[in-house]
């Protein structure tokens, strides 16, 4: 069976890039990834790019061709992948499958979003398209509102508190201090979150991920070939994806994201590991309650115990399991780029290049990317590829 | 601006004005809005048009302080997930209710209201909202 590895990664800084356009950001991330991998542009056989709402945010579609064009990689096939905030993760999985199938040996995959060209209201409207336009957004449901409904359900069923959710943000900001690409470098306290004002109760401003510009890119290579050309290859030992109802009203449970649970189960099976074997994870914490849902649905903690686990510091850097050593989505969530940036973080961690945020003895890493309010979930598991060049 | 074209409003009148959904007689499940395919039974489904009950209970709620375009004039407002008496779930605004009365388990009934401001084509969107009843 063919296996697939990552041999290079590149990210732009995440933040408000008033001075850079969409095309400049993706070209910057792409070139960094190619340089990092040590290959030449001509070695790349295909491109997959994840972006969610470029049409609404910058008025540009046809992103596949745009990426190939900007990177000087025409005429190779270049395809856009869209799955809301999971666009990056699904693009990664698509590139993985393209190599796995035997069609290609070397593929570039990118993710990007340019979100600050429009007003906050327009951006939230664009993001609202990840939910159900006709039954949610029509009635005034924003993304924070949908996650707020999930948060309240979790609080009611398990006694999860607003302070526990606030602690997720505190941890994210603490880890983000060590991430040079993070949108914020500022430590916060629980009171800061509690006093930050409701966006959609019980979620407050500092419970929410920000609006961000940014791009990330990876070079994927068939593993036998990767061994010969790279000493930093990390193998994708599992790639799984699941879907669920677009809107919240058809969900069987409001206290889990079933797509995450199902994709994770499949990923653990592929990798032949259990949740306790994971050393670090980059999870999709678009809101603080999403962090709690993720650590439960991924099997790191029992259902309902996520809030308490955070309170006890069990998810801190180098604690029981290091969750979001990069700071996660709180440190920037350019929606289409997030899934790729998570894998880039796994690449840094497993190569021991994560500097001050390095997870000690990191052997197995997991990334978890969610689209919408849980209608898509993608889980990848990585390990250092054995055998050097 | 928020809600697209006139035909979309027009298509949704039965749903938004009358709570019309459908019901699968094979698996005895109500769907709102109506579905073309029953996700439980697929080709064995027996889908029939059906009006939903106009009362239900709040399962979860939120007060929205930052709304999307088209809702500037009513922010803040309450949104809730409601389970109707036939188990179908619906997401709706809660209006005409005391703040303290909006809570999990509260009984609500449907009212008819304007949903959002006039869009570019001049269509004012109307539809269902719910209010808490004793």
| Tens of pLDDT, residues A178-192 | 999 999 999 999 999
Distance separating alpha carbons of residues A351 and B49, to the nearest angstrom: 58
Predicted confidence at residue B4, as pLDDT, reads 60
SS3 annotation, B22-90: EEECCCCEEECCCCCCCCCCHHHCCEEEEECCCEEEEEEEEEECCCCCCCCCCCCEEEEEEEECCCCEE
Distance separating alpha carbons of residues A107 and A96, to the nearest angstrom: 8
Give strand pairing partners of A133: none
Predicted confidence at residue A362, as pLDDT, reads 97
CB contacts < 8 A (A, B): 103
Residues of A in contact with B8 (CB under 8 A): 134
Question: pLDDT by residue (tens digit) across B16-59?
Answer: 999 999 999 999 999 999 999 999 999 999 999 999 999 999 99
Distance separating alpha carbons of residues A27 and A33, to the nearest angstrom: 10
Q: A157 CA to chain B: closest CA distance, Å? A: 11
Per-residue confidence band for A386, with pLDDT thresholds at 50, 70 and 90: confident
From B90, which residue of chain A is nearest by alpha-carbon distance? A249
* List of residues 6+ apart from A344 with CB closer than 8 A: A9, A10, A11, A216, A217, A218
- Asked if B77 and A142 come within 8 Å (Cβ–Cβ), the reply is no
Q: B74 CA to chain A: closest CA distance, Å? A: 10
| % residues pLDDT > 70 (chain A) | 99
Distance separating alpha carbons of residues A188 and A34, to the nearest angstrom: 36
Predicted confidence at residue A1, as pLDDT, reads 86
Residues of A in contact with B3 (CB under 8 A): 138
Q: Which of A138, A142, A202 sits opposite B3 (nearest CB)?
A: A138
- Asked if A249 and B69 come within 8 Å (Cβ–Cβ), the reply is no
Active-site annotation holds for A17 = no
Instruction: Write down the catalytic residue from A17, A154, A284, A333.
Output: A333
| % residues pLDDT > 90 (chain A) | 95
Active-site annotation holds for A185 = no
Distance separating alpha carbons of residues B74 and A139, to the nearest angstrom: 12
Predicted confidence at residue B1, as pLDDT, reads 43
Residue B2 in this model has a pLDDT that exceeds 60: no
Question: pLDDT by residue (tens digit) across A267-285?
Answer: 999 999 999 999 999 999 9
Instruction: Write down the catalytic residue from A11, A17, A85, A286.
Output: A85
pLDDT average, residue stretch A34-47: 98
How far CA A304 is from CA of A158, A251, A280, A291, in Å, comes to 5, 18, 21, 12
Question: pLDDT by residue (tens digit) across A222-241?
Answer: 999 999 999 999 999 999 99
Residues of A in contact with B77 (CB under 8 A): 140
Residue A47 in this model has a pLDDT that exceeds 70: yes
Predicted confidence at residue B134, as pLDDT, reads 81
Residue B119 in this model has a pLDDT that exceeds 70: no
Predicted confidence at residue B84, as pLDDT, reads 98
Residue A122 in this model has a pLDDT that exceeds 90: no
| % residues pLDDT > 90 (chain B) | 76
- Asked if A249 and B32 come within 8 Å (Cβ–Cβ), the reply is yes
Predicted confidence at residue A86, as pLDDT, reads 98
Q: Which of B12, B62, B90 sits opposite A134 (nearest CB)?
A: B12
pTM of structure: 0.97
- Asked if A139 and B63 come within 8 Å (Cβ–Cβ), the reply is no
Closest CA to A146 of A328, A372, A377: A372
Predicted confidence at residue B46, as pLDDT, reads 97
Predicted confidence at residue B118, as pLDDT, reads 64
Distance separating alpha carbons of residues A21 and A116, to the nearest angstrom: 10
Question: pLDDT by residue (tens digit) across B88-101?
Answer: 999 999 999 999 99
Predicted confidence at residue A388, as pLDDT, reads 56
Residues of B in contact with A129 (CB under 8 A): none
With an 8 Å Cβ cutoff, the interface of chain A facing chain B consists of: 120-122, 124-125, 128, 134-142, 144-145, 148-150, 152-153, 156, 197-203, 247-250, 254
Left (φ > 0), alpha (ψ -120 to 50) or beta: where does A161 sit? Answer: beta
Q: Most A CBs within 10 Å: which of B1, B9, B81, B112, as the mutation test of the A interface? A: B81
Q: A389 CA to chain B: closest CA distance, Å? A: 51
Is the Cβ–Cβ distance between A36 and A9 less than 8 Å?
yes
In three-state secondary structure terms, A364 is: strand
Question: pLDDT by residue (tens digit) across A328-384?
Answer: 999 999 999 999 999 999 999 999 999 999 999 999 999 999 999 999 999 999 999
User: What average pLDDT does the structure give for chain A?
Assistant: 97
Q: Where are the alpha helices (DSSP H) in A316-380?
A: 335-350
Predicted confidence at residue A120, as pLDDT, reads 86
Of residues B117 and A164, the one with the higher pLDDT is A164
Is the Cβ–Cβ distance between A339 and A91 less than 8 Å?
yes
Residue A199 in this model has a pLDDT that exceeds 80: yes
How far CA A272 is from CA of A238, A264, A267, A276, A379, in Å, comes to 9, 12, 8, 12, 14
List strand residue ranges (DSSP E) for chain A, in order: 4-11, 46-50, 78-81, 106-114, 198-200, 203-204, 213-222, 234-243, 280-282, 322-323, 364-371, 376-384
Residue B6 in this model has a pLDDT that exceeds 90: no
Question: pLDDT by residue (tens digit) across A286-308?
Answer: 999 999 999 999 999 999 999 99
Q: Which of B66, B69, B72 sits opposite A122 (nearest CB)?
A: B69
Give this complex's ipTM: 0.96
Q: A297 CA to chain B: closest CA distance, Å? A: 20
pLDDT average, residue stretch A37-65: 97
């Amino acid at each position: 069976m063919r296996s697939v590895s990552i041999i290079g990664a590149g990210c732009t800084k995440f933040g408000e890039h008033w001075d850079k356009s969409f095309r400049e950001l993706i070209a910057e991330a792409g070139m960094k990834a190619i340089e990092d991998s040590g290959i030449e542009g001509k070695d790349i056989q295909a491109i997959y790019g994840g972006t969610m709402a470029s049409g609404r945010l910058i008025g540009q579609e046809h992103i596949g061709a745009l990426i190939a064009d900007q990177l000087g990689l025409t005429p190779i096939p270049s395809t856009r992948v869209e799955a809301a905030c999971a666009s990056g993760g699904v693009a990664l999985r698509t590139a993985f499958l393209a190599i796995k199938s035997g069609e290609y040996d070397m593929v570039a995959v990118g993710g990007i979003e340019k979100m600050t060209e429009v007003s906050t209201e327009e951006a939230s409207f664009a993001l609202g398209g990840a939910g159900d336009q006709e039954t949610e957004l029509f009635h005034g449901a924003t993304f924070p509102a949908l996650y707020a409904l999930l948060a309240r359900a979790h609080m009611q069923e398990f006694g999860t508190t607003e302070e526990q959710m606030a602690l997720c943000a505190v941890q994210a900001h603490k880890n983000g201090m060590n991430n040079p690409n993070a949108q914020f470098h500022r430590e916060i306290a629980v009171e800061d979150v509690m006093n930050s004002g409701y966006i959609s109760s019980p979620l407050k401003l500092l419970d929410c991920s920000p609006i961000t510009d940014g791009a990330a890119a990876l070079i994927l290579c068939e593993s036998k070939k990767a061994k010969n050309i790279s000493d930093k290859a990390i193998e994708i030992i599992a790639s799984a994806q699941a879907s669920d109802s677009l809107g919240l009203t058809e969900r069987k449970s409001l206290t889990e994201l079933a797509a995450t649970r199902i994709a994770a189960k499949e990923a653990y099976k592929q990798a032949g590991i259990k949740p306790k074997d994971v050393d670090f994870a980059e999870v999709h914490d678009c809101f603080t309650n999403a962090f709690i849902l993720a650590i439960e649905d991924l099997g790191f903690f029992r259902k309902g115990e996520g809030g308490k686990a955070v309170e006890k510091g069990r998810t801190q850097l180098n604690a029981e399991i290091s969750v979001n050593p990069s700071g996660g989505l709180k440190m920037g969530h350019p929606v289409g780029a997030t899934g790729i940036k998570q894998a880039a973080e796994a690449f840094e961690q497993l190569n021991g290049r994560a500097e001050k945020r390095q997870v000690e003895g990191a052997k197995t890493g997991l990334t978890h990317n969610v689209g919408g309010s849980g209608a898509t979930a993608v889980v990848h598991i990585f390990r250092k590829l054995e055998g050097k060049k | 601006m928020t809600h697209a074209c006139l035909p979309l409003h027009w298509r949704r009148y039965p749903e938004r004005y009358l709570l019309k959904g459908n019901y699968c007689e094979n698996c005895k499940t109500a769907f709102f809005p109506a579905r073309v395919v029953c996700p439980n039974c697929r080709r064995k489904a027996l889908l029939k048009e059906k009006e939903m009950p106009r009362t239900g209970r709040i399962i979860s709620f939120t007060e929205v302080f930052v709304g999307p375009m088209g809702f500037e004039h009513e922010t803040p407002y309450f949104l809730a997930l409601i389970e109707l008496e036939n188990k179908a779930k619906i997401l709706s605004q809660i209006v005409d209710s005391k703040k303290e009365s909006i809570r999990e388990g509260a009984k609500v009934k449907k009212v008819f209201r304007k949903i959002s401001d006039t869009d570019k084509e001049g269509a004012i969107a109307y539809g269902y909202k719910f209010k808490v009843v004793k």
